[in-house]
Amino acid sequence: MNVGMRIKFMKSNPSFQLPMELAIITLCLGLGLPACIGLFPQTVKLEVEKLEKEFQNVERKNGKKLDYVYFNKGL
């Protein structure tokens, strides 16, 4: 925003500073956020050893121990 205040128009009209900041923030969120959300997978595979102690001994219905759990990040 310091660069924006160096522009002749912004120096002569300081009341446009807030609308300009809001426009830039909206543009960054509108372009950057969907790209960042799309960059990472929606479903995550996690080793059971990394979970809390109470979930590390969870077994399947047939009695086999789980190695991994899968979850949806819920974005």
For residue range 36-73, what is the model confidence (pLDDT) as tens digits? 888 888 898 999 999 999 988 888 889 898 899 999 98
- Domain regions of the chain by residue span: 1-40, 41-75
Number of Cβ within 10 Å of residue 40's Cβ equals 9
Give pLDDT, residue 68: 92
Nearest to 47 by CA among 75, 69, 20: 69
Q: Is the pTM of this model over 0.75?
A: no
